[in-house]
Structure 1
Amino acid sequence: MGDRVAASLSRMFEEERLVFWYDADRDMRETFETLTLGGVEKVEIDNNEFGLKYRILRQEPDQKFLIYKHGPEPKMQDNWLLDVQLATSVFKADQAAIWVQELDIPTQHDAAVRDHMEFYRSQKRLDRLKQFETDKPSAGVSEIRRKMLAVCVGADGDLDTVVEALLEDLSQGKDAHLRLIERSGLTEFLWKQIANAYGYQADSPDFEDFAIALFQSAYHRALGDAGQLNAEALLTFRRWKNSRHNGEAFEALSGRYQDILKIPEDLNGRDARTVVAIDHFEEIDRHLIRSLVTAMSEQTVSSVEVLNWVRERRQSHWYPRYEHIYQAIAYATEFQQALSTANLSMSSATDGLKRYVGNWYKLDQFYRKFIYHMQASAQPSLLSSLYESIENRYSNSFVLKVNDLWQDQIAGLSEWQFSGYERQQDFYLNQAAEYRRRDQKVVVIISDALRYEVAEECLREIRKLNRFDADLKPMISALPSYTQLGMASLLPNKSLEILEKSGEVSSFDQSTVGTANRAKILAKGRDGDHTKALKAEDFMNMKGAEGKELFRDNHVVYIYHNRIDAVGDKLQTEDRLPEAAENAVADLIKMVQKLTSANFSNIMITADHGFLYQHRPLDESSFSVAEPAGEEVLVKNRRFVVGRGLKEAAGLKIWKADQLGLAGDLDVSIPNSVNRLRVKGSGSRFVHGGACLQEIVVPVLRVGKQREADVSKVDVQIVVAGKSLISSGQTAVMLYQVQPVSEKQHARQLTAGIYASDEELISDLHDVTFDFNSENAREREMPLKFLLSRAADEYNNQDVFLKLKEQIGKTSHSEEIASHRFQLKRGIKTDFDF
């Protein structure tokens, strides 16, 4: 006690020469007598008032005096030192007075201590309140009490942070902070503050009742309807909901209240368009998804509108939970749009090839991506009707139709080659060896079953990498389009021949099966070349130095990668083909990056064949009605037969070995179009070996590394129509993405808010993603509305700033990307008073 009294008096004497001390309870004499204060004389009032006054005022006018009375302060009419006392300070030595002194608050505000003594019985709470006072001294009792509320709940100071902390407690079923507020005598003050700030009125206020009203009002105000609480409540709700730290609390309360507030029933009567920008309840996303799926299945909504909806939902709190469903919807929309605009006709075989590699491959890609995201969503029931629609249209209106037309074009061919398109058998001589003729080293990645459309996705992902570029060209696979022949065709080759009993392929009269045999054939490419063939996993397991040695010691390297075929070519896993394709792209990106780190600068990616894939199990009409027959049927696959003296039959085309550029006297029979042959125990959804466009158009992807950085982010501008004036509680602006997103112009994620000149945020904060890829400038505009907070009233008639900020990496810091100055000039302040 003595130390605290000494510290409190010392602070008072920094400002005063005279300090009075009335020991009303007559229990502080010992403390007074033992007290030592440097430069301060201690005197006692004991029927000596006139003598003290003369000494203090005349004899020692510069000396500091502590004037003590052992007893209560006399009444004013009996206080002979009243005139002196009124000109200086009175020290109160009770516990409350000591706390007032410690906090360095004016004595006229001591009700903030005396009415809430329980609060101050914790040194930790007292120290936190002292820190608040040091940072920003309070102007009145109410401001001190607001800080006490913040200390009680562990918040940062303002009422909205107190509400956020109590919402966190509510979500976890805790009430310790509310009980502390009650013990501290702050409950009535809390409800008065909430009533003034948010318009909450209740005969018996309850925090859960307030929380329900907060969710309900935020929902109705977002819809443009009246709410029980005011606009400030909506702003507080938005800030709390959008904070990464409050996600679990928001989800818990939202899930609890959506049934109490009968949100599912309310949504049933609303057009999905009215809630597309609202994410207060998870049920909104489910309502939107059901509405989108129905509209798309019935084709009553435009693709532009669907994509805009999906894009807007990316800002939704629940988007990560439904991301795969929204992605599936987006790809289904892209598929429907592409199919509706596709001209599915061809005047010749080369015309058909040109159309496929120009645009038609995208339909395969959109379908595959749709199936992947549908599977990954783990909620296929929500997409069931859309899936049926996409599956039927893909199978019947695209794959079957196009390949029936393609069959018409190749039915009369006498030789398997097409003008203007490289043959797979010539790959090494015409493409890989091209680098060797320039005395450059080259690495070739052969990814089993890397269909053209999967390679195109890989192309775009590689181009997104800084300093990487790539180009893609088609090549026509050998026929039949199966692994053994495709792999052999990509090597230096001579006298390619399908062997009778196994379907294996020989070249230079040597087997081409397995990495070791292919390494021997690769060495025959060019005299003096050092070559290496290895599996992708072996390369990826190499240490950095080993990769550099691989480059140093070899001129030509072939790397064999098998992700797609390994999954798709098994009955038990063929339905996971879309996932395997996603993983293949990721593999190839990592491999390309590791190869460039190992000094390889000339990288080629190609495939042995493509594939046909339909997710739904095939019906009887998809199987060829003819059963292959002839002198000998040596090899039978879902999509081809190898034999000797094979007979012509309806639905089958017979090719002689020499027509296919092969040695030997064997025949190859290929089912027409997409038809499969019946083969016991093998899958039928993922197939290859035939002559369909999806099977025989294979990619040649060339990758190079640039010297200069070539990746940047799109620019974003703030567009304001009319005067830069804010005259109401909300304002609307337009944000404009200057360039469309591309491989080298990447998307940008920003936060947008209105700030005062001292960096105080005075509006709600929007997280916005700029990833528009449209060439149409109007389709790269983003309208935003900002709701001003109570804090904005303090900056009326001042300049404020709309700022776009971007997070710096994964840090807590951000940098300003764009800013626009506004004048805040509002005639009437907001409807709350502190």
Structure 2
Amino acid sequence: MIEEKALTYFNNFPDLKILFFFDEQKEFLEEVQKLSTNVFKVVYWENNPFVLKYQLTQEMQHEKIFLYVPLAQPNTQEAYHAFPLMGLLLANKELQLDNVGTFMEEFGLQRNQKRLVSKYIKELKYSSVQNICKPVLTSGSFQEKDLQRALLSAFLKFKKTENWYSIITKLGIWSQEEYQEQFKTVENKIKANGLEEILLEQINKYTNLYATEFCKTICRQAICSLWYNYTTQNSNLAKEDPYQKLKINDATSIIKTNQWWQEIENNESLEKPFKTLLLHLDKDIQSQQLVKCYGVETKFQYYTPQLVWEVLKVITLQLNTQTSEVLEIINRLSLQQEIKNTERQTIVWLRHVLKFSQEIQQIESYHYNNTEDYIHAYTETGYKIDSLYRKSILAYKKIDLAEVPKSVATEDIFRTVNETYQKHIDLQNRTWLQSLNQIHFDYKELKVPKQYDFYKNEVATVNQKLVVIISDALRYEAAVDLLAIMHGDSKNTAEIKYQLASIPSKTNIGMAQLLPGIKSFNNGEVLSDDLSTSGTDNRTKILQAYKEKAIAIQYTEVDSLSQKEARELFKNNLVYIYHDVIDATGDKRVSERRTFEAVESAKDELAKFVKMLHSSYNVTNVLITADHGFLYTDEKIEDKALEALPKNILSSHNRFFITEEDHNQELGYTFPLKLTTAFDDEVYVTTPFSVNRYRKSGVGHQFVHGGASLQELVTPVIVSSRKRVEFAKKVMPTILNKGKLSIVSNVLKFNILQENEISKLEKERSVRVALYKDNQLVSNEIILELNKVSESPSERLFNVLLIITAVAAETNMLKLKVFDVEDELNPLIEEWVQNNTSIAQDF
């Protein structure tokens, strides 16, 4: 606008040299800085009248000048005389913008609208305001209320005319100290243009404030009212609630409150600063008071970080006494999508802690009738404690503890988890080893699968092509997790079994037991059919003596093969693949504290590899097992807690030692090595009475194996095969907040929950989500992969955002449909959705 008007002045007055433009508030500075024309040169007043006068009259005397002056326009005799460039101003012209007639002609307005134009012309003259007000500046719909809303939108720097919800919200955001300058500017404009009344009318309409004077405090209180009523809408008013004067009770007002909230969440420019504002409202609406009045069991609609921490502060005091009740609260919190960052990670951790405590509490006794019962109990439910301990440690390490309030006793809980786990595995394995001792550690007395029979039982009997993956230190509980990931493949039929590893549960011994042949300990240089069992070359020779076209190979080598080379490899009848991620990390002192991270990496790596074996390399049968498991405690083992190793031993580590003679029982249980292995050597192995460690220099003591604990001995055998067709049912989706879905500003936001985790019985599913008018698609389509294996509901939650097209803009009710991508005729879900965009709202 300024450039056009300036060019008009210079065109209409050919002799004009200087066109003055006064802009006291610098409202047009940005527009002036964008001027780009060869007709005139833009010069800026910089409070240098004498230098500037010289430049204008001497250096630039032959140029046409547009002079920008950020001062008040001289409009009195005194002001003209006080202006240093008065002579030049009188000899030239001043750019005027507030021409009502020109404005009305430009926008095609009618004469009866002149009063409104005149009333607001001092604002309408700005191009930035005109851009926002343009849609209402028409002869047919030029109403004062619409213009006032447009002006407020312009004052608040919106890009278009916004609804009253957004206007009140922006005022609330600018009521913060950091926006002091912006708020003061807009407040002056509101008062100068007489807009207080309409603003107060709208604020009072959606709150219980009954405000009579517009100010910063009222704007902040309006947002307090919004958050308070939205958050507590599921609860009846508590008598002791100190904020009850804000409470909205009628259903219509609650609907408006929800619409207001949804408007904010669908407005990209407002959502983030609004959520930031909520962080500061705890001074006004204190989370501590809300929890005190309504209790942690209350289903608050929205949780600020302060409210989350207040709930967690209370429930962490109840972890041991009300485990089930607290777990229910944690599960509900985990489904709240607004909870992010450290708060969410703390909730994830607490859920694992509670599940861990729940499993511990369900233990009625550590004593069983016979030795087999210990193994059965461990493989049926007992392993879950190890799994939940691992997951709780991993989750705890992801928490930014510096952001956790001291009132939430995370360190105390973490220490208690470690102490509880240590006590558990000590009691569990002390009684287990006593049971083993009663049968003199003679595996032949046990009616359970043994590791030394693996080849005979699992490999020799398979007449088809077979791949055996031996993952070093893949513990049984981790293999159960791996199985869950594998179950995501709808054609996979994997199942898990177990076998009892040899004692000592040491890599070279376990690896040897998994091979065919007659074995000997040979003073630690383990042989099978007189061949060394170390290295893949020797293992290949051993295997080929029993299976034609057999080969042993390291996983790292397989991983580096091209697809063509890999296909050649898997043409062999039998492939033994040695995978080492967990032991390679845990069995080093410098990296043992990353053991559980290595477990996660191993699971992911194996799941992808098995799927590739089945799908890309045409391998029908895959076995996954381990040479041994492990013990791990996250607390550092003090040296004083370690037991001394005796002298004159053949072999030792921090969980066993081997001698030529029967050793004194004071250091643990001693028995012939041949009783738990396929060896015939006359040597003896000693293992501690429980989970104790021996003092061994140069090694770590948090991650250990070699002993006889259930965690070290119960090793997995996963049998994986692949069918040509899908055979199991698929997981189902469900909609959260069912019956309460509504479209605001052409956008529908909601959450879909995958009802159950992937398992042998329920496989992954791909679904298509969209909105329909009758059978016509009227939104974008979203494809979701329901393939989550976690038992935690929060980790099976999907955020969905659908945007309706213009076709549906005026339709009150639309239908949300969720289809399996392979069946577009029969929807899994059909749900009516209210289209609030189409409803004529009074805001």
**Normalising to structure 2: TM-score of the pair?**
0.69
The 3 A distance-change label for structure 1 pair 210 and 546 is farther
Instruction: Give the corresponding residue for 1:211.
Output: 220
Q: Does 1:318 align with 2:339?
A: yes
Q: 2:584 aligns with which of 562, 566, 574?
A: 566
Deviates more, 1:179-188 or 1:470-479: 179-188
Q: 1:116 aligns with which of 97, 113, 120?
A: 120
Q: Write the distance in 1 (CA, Å) between the matches of 2:280 and 2:542.
A: 68
Instruction: Give the corresponding residue for 2:148.
Output: 145
Letter in 2 for 1:456: V
The 3 A distance-change label for structure 1 pair 585 and 418 is farther
Q: Does 1:347 align with 2:363?
A: no
Q: Write the distance in 1 (CA, Å) between the matches of 2:498 and 2:267.
A: 46
The 3 A distance-change label for structure 1 pair 395 and 285 is same
Aligned residues: 680
Q: Write the distance in 2 (CA, Å) between the matches of 1:738 and 1:582.
A: 22
Letter in 1 for 2:616: A
Instruction: Give the corresponding residue for 2:720.
Output: 703
Q: 1:534 aligns with which of 535, 540, 554?
A: 554
Q: Deviations over 1:540-568 (max 9, x none)?
A: 344444433433x4332233222222222
The equivalences for 1:262-411 within 5 A come to 263=286, 266=289, 269-270=292-293, 272-273=295-296, 277-297=300-320, 299=321, 301-344=322-365, 345-379=367-401, 382-396=409-423, 398-411=424-437
Instruction: Give the corresponding residue for 1:434.
Output: 461
- Do the aligned partners of 1:622 and 1:674 also contact (CA within 8 Å) in 2? no
Q: Deviations over 1:245-286 (max 9, x none)?
A: 45542443233333x337365367456426652545311111
Q: Write the distance in 1 (CA, Å) between the matches of 2:777 and 2:106.
A: 31
Max radius of gyration: which structure? 1
Deviates more, 1:745-754 or 1:446-455: 745-754
Q: 2:704 aligns with which of 687, 704, 717?
A: 687
Q: Write the distance in 2 (CA, Å) between the matches of 1:335 and 1:360.
A: 11
Deviates more, 1:138-147 or 1:561-570: 138-147
Instruction: Give the corresponding residue for 1:645.
Output: 661
- Do the aligned partners of 2:774 and 2:815 also contact (CA within 8 Å) in 1? no
- Do the aligned partners of 1:547 and 1:595 also contact (CA within 8 Å) in 2? no
The 3 A distance-change label for structure 1 pair 567 and 736 is closer
- Report the 3-state secondary structure (helix = DSSP H, G, I; strand = E; otherwise coil) of the residue aligned with 2:467: strand
Q: Write the distance in 1 (CA, Å) between the matches of 2:635 and 2:303.
A: 37
Letter in 2 for 1:819: E
Measure how far apart 1:294 and its partner are: 1.2
Q: Write the distance in 2 (CA, Å) between the matches of 1:773 and 1:462.
A: 13
Letter in 1 for 2:336: Q
Deviates more, 1:692-701 or 1:224-233: 224-233
Instruction: Give the corresponding residue for 2:70.
Output: none
Q: Percent identity?
A: 22
Letter in 2 for 1:617: K
- Do the aligned partners of 1:803 and 1:816 also contact (CA within 8 Å) in 2? no
Instruction: Give the corresponding residue for 1:818.
Output: 830
Letter in 2 for 1:676: R
Q: Write the distance in 2 (CA, Å) between the matches of 1:662 and 1:590.
A: 36
The 3 A distance-change label for structure 1 pair 178 and 513 is farther
- Do the aligned partners of 1:748 and 1:771 also contact (CA within 8 Å) in 2? no
Deviates more, 1:466-475 or 1:514-523: 514-523
Measure how far apart 1:597 and its partner are: 4.1
The 3 A distance-change label for structure 1 pair 720 and 282 is closer
Letter in 1 for 2:199: W
- Do the aligned partners of 1:307 and 1:333 also contact (CA within 8 Å) in 2? no
The equivalences for 1:160-309 within 5 A come to 160-164=165-169, 173=179, 179=185, 188=195, 191-192=199-200, 194-199=202-207, 205-207=214-216, 210-211=219-220, 213-215=222-224, 218-219=227-228, 222-223=231-232, 224=237, 225-228=243-246, 231=253, 234-235=257-258, 238-239=261-262, 242-243=265-266, 245=268, 246=270, 248-258=272-282, 260-261=283-284, 263=286, 266=289, 269-270=292-293, 272-273=295-296, 277-297=300-320, 299=321, 301-309=322-330
Letter in 1 for 2:626: A
- Do the aligned partners of 2:231 and 2:302 also contact (CA within 8 Å) in 1? no
Instruction: Give the corresponding residue for 2:63.
Output: none
Q: Write the distance in 2 (CA, Å) between the matches of 1:539 and 1:137.
A: 75
Measure how far apart 1:181 and its partner are: 8.7
Q: 2:616 aligns with which of 574, 591, 598?
A: 598
Q: Write the distance in 2 (CA, Å) between the matches of 1:644 and 1:423.
A: 24
- Report the 3-state secondary structure (helix = DSSP H, G, I; strand = E; otherwise coil) of the residue aligned with 2:690: coil
Q: Does 1:451 align with 2:475?
A: yes
The 3 A distance-change label for structure 1 pair 571 and 229 is same
- Report the 3-state secondary structure (helix = DSSP H, G, I; strand = E; otherwise coil) of the residue aligned with 1:273: coil
- Report the 3-state secondary structure (helix = DSSP H, G, I; strand = E; otherwise coil) of the residue aligned with 1:318: coil
Measure how far apart 1:740 and its partner are: 4.8
- Report the 3-state secondary structure (helix = DSSP H, G, I; strand = E; otherwise coil) of the residue aligned with 2:670: strand
The 3 A distance-change label for structure 1 pair 174 and 216 is same
- Do the aligned partners of 1:216 and 1:227 also contact (CA within 8 Å) in 2? no
- Do the aligned partners of 1:739 and 1:745 also contact (CA within 8 Å) in 2? no
Deviates more, 1:645-654 or 1:288-297: 645-654
Instruction: Give the corresponding residue for 1:585.
Output: 603
The equivalences for 1:772-787 within 5 A come to none
Q: Deviations over 1:545-601 (max 9, x none)?
A: 4433433x4332233222222222223332332222222222222222333342233
The 3 A distance-change label for structure 1 pair 756 and 805 is closer
Measure how far apart 1:164 and its partner are: 4.8
- Do the aligned partners of 1:714 and 1:748 also contact (CA within 8 Å) in 2? no
Measure how far apart 1:356 and its partner are: 0.9
Q: Write the distance in 2 (CA, Å) between the matches of 1:687 and 1:367.
A: 16
Measure how far apart 1:237 and its partner are: 5.9
Q: Does 1:610 align with 2:638?
A: no
- Do the aligned partners of 1:218 and 1:237 also contact (CA within 8 Å) in 2? no
The 3 A distance-change label for structure 1 pair 746 and 173 is farther
Q: CA RMSD in A?
A: 4.8
Measure how far apart 1:636 and its partner are: 1.6
Q: Write the distance in 1 (CA, Å) between the matches of 2:775 and 2:724.
A: 43
Q: Does 1:476 align with 2:486?
A: no
Letter in 2 for 1:633: I
Q: Write the distance in 1 (CA, Å) between the matches of 2:162 and 2:350.
A: 44
Q: Write the distance in 2 (CA, Å) between the matches of 1:358 and 1:241.
A: 49
Measure how far apart 1:407 and its partner are: 1.2
Letter in 2 for 1:400: D
Structure 2 gaps of 5+ residues are 5-97, 238-242, 743-750, 780-785, 792-796, 798-808, 822-826
Deviates more, 1:179-188 or 1:644-653: 179-188
Measure how far apart 1:351 and its partner are: 1.4
The equivalences for 1:735-774 within 5 A come to 740-743=756-759, 744=762
Q: Does 1:412 align with 2:445?
A: no
Q: Deviations over 1:266-317 (max 9, x none)?
A: 36745642665254531111122222221114x1x24144234333343152
Structure 1 gaps of 5+ residues are 5-93, 727-734, 762-768, 775-781, 783-793, 810-814
Measure how far apart 1:752 and its partner are: 13
- Do the aligned partners of 1:423 and 1:475 also contact (CA within 8 Å) in 2? yes
- Do the aligned partners of 1:638 and 1:679 also contact (CA within 8 Å) in 2? yes
**Normalising to structure 1: TM-score of the pair?**
0.70
- Report the 3-state secondary structure (helix = DSSP H, G, I; strand = E; otherwise coil) of the residue aligned with 1:689: coil
Instruction: Give the corresponding residue for 1:788.
Output: none
- Report the 3-state secondary structure (helix = DSSP H, G, I; strand = E; otherwise coil) of the residue aligned with 1:317: coil
Q: Write the distance in 2 (CA, Å) between the matches of 1:213 and 1:692.
A: 62
Measure how far apart 1:803 and its partner are: 6.2
The 3 A distance-change label for structure 1 pair 165 and 434 is farther
Instruction: Give the corresponding residue for 2:87.
Output: none
- Report the 3-state secondary structure (helix = DSSP H, G, I; strand = E; otherwise coil) of the residue aligned with 2:473: coil
Letter in 2 for 1:642: I
Measure how far apart 1:720 and its partner are: 10
